[in-house]
Amino acid sequence: MRFTLIIPDLLPPQPPGGMLDLYHGLHLPDLQWLFARGALHGSTGLSLEAWLMQHYGLEHSPAIASLALLADGAAPDSAYWLRADPVHLQAQRDQLVLVDGSMLAITAAEASALTESLNQHFVQDKLHFIAPQPTRWYIALDAAPELVTQPLPAVAGKGINACLPSGAEGLRWNQIATEIQMLLHAHPINQAREEQGQPPINSVWFWGGGVYPAQAVRPLLKEQLWADDALARGLALAAKQSPQALPLNFDTFMAHAKTTGAHCVLWDELRRAAWYGDHEAWRKKLASLEADWIKPLCYALRRGIVSEVTLHAISEQGCLSVTTMRSGRWQFWRRAKGLKHYLPG
């Protein structure tokens, strides 16, 4: 078996000032062993979305929304699809900070009720919202708008002032967003959420617009994909592959996977902690990665159950790939170093 592991935000920027080492005190012997005994290759920093599009041969295609929609079980057809994801805008001093839907515990019933109200309000504008998943909403447009948007992962946990839609139609879409905020503010769903101590779903974030790719999607990641990320699953489906859900841990993976061939796991559990600067949550997730995936994976590599491991650490500051063969267990002279040693720049 050949095993590939994609881990966004494994090597994130360190907190400013250099006073806090995110890795300090963490016991990560097997992760450090993989890096020490493998062949390293650094490359330009990319977001996870850009990295995935590149590795499926679609780096010049703005089709994130339509591919995610495919993963969510709907047919993208030939329309221009735009993500309109539900968010909470939180007032902090002189700016609004975006909190993404995964932090809001949105139910399917809430998503259905809110999008139904949006559709009634915007019927004259021919804007129709759908919510195949509570945290992923979409709009279909007849033609591509002259609009520049910022990916939600790049804005989550940050102020939105410098990230609002721009371009020739930016003003119109900002006005639409303002109307949506006014409608959602008074909606009974949000009144009920606030009474229960939950943050209101008080806006949507437009991003990821594009048309489903006309050309055949090349399966450059030829491994069996295991992932929960909608874009990754949509890319695999577009390439005529059959993505599987992310297993709980490596042992669960082994219980369901074929013991031959190539497998690729996208483990994205560090992302949201990194978005919101939650250092303690990020450290806990990294410790669970070591225990649940890396330790048993290294054991399988040393025993010959797995023949090679490739780990892709994806970051906008710089990407790092390391391929470790079973023969690496004999290279005793290659001493393990702390992960801080591999940080970009």
| Residue 138 neighbours by CB under 8 Å, 6+ apart | 65, 69, 74, 81, 82, 83, 84, 129, 130, 131, 132
- The label of the residue with tokens 């041969």 reads 57
Indicate if 99 and 11 belong to the same structural domain. no
Examine the fold and report which residue of 160, 188, 211 is the final residue of a domain before the chain moves on: 211
| Residue 9 neighbours by CB under 8 Å, 6+ apart | 270, 271, 273, 274, 282, 314, 315
Q: Which residue type does 51 have?
A: W
Indicate if 174 and 80 belong to the same structural domain. yes
First to last CA, the chain: 33
Copy the structure tokens of residue 324. 């470790």
Indicate if 171 and 275 belong to the same structural domain. no
Do residues 86 and 187 make contact, with C-beta atoms less than 8 angstroms apart?
Answer: no
State the pLDDT at residue 24: 86
Indicate if 38 and 77 belong to the same structural domain. no
State the pLDDT at residue 325: 85
State the pLDDT at residue 16: 67
Q: How far apart are CA 271 and CA 285, in angstroms?
A: 10
Q: What is the number of structural domains in the chain?
A: 2
CA Rg value for the chain: 21
State the pLDDT at residue 329: 62
Q: What range defines the domain where residue 144 resides?
A: 64-211
Indicate if 153 and 80 belong to the same structural domain. yes
Examine the fold and report which residue of 167, 192, 211 is the final residue of a domain before the chain moves on: 211
How many alpha carbons lie under 13 Å from residue 218 in its C-beta half-sphere?
A: 9
Which pTM value belongs to this model? 0.93
DSSP 218: P
Region for residue 46 given its phi and psi (left: phi exceeds 0; alpha: psi -120 to 50; beta: otherwise): beta
State the pLDDT at residue 324: 93
Write 184-193 long-range contacts (CB < 8 A, 24+). Answer: 184/114, 187/113, 187/114, 187/117, 189/110, 189/113, 189/114, 193/110
Indicate if 206 and 85 belong to the same structural domain. yes
* Residues of the chain scoring pLDDT < 70: 16-19, 220-221, 327-334, 336, 345
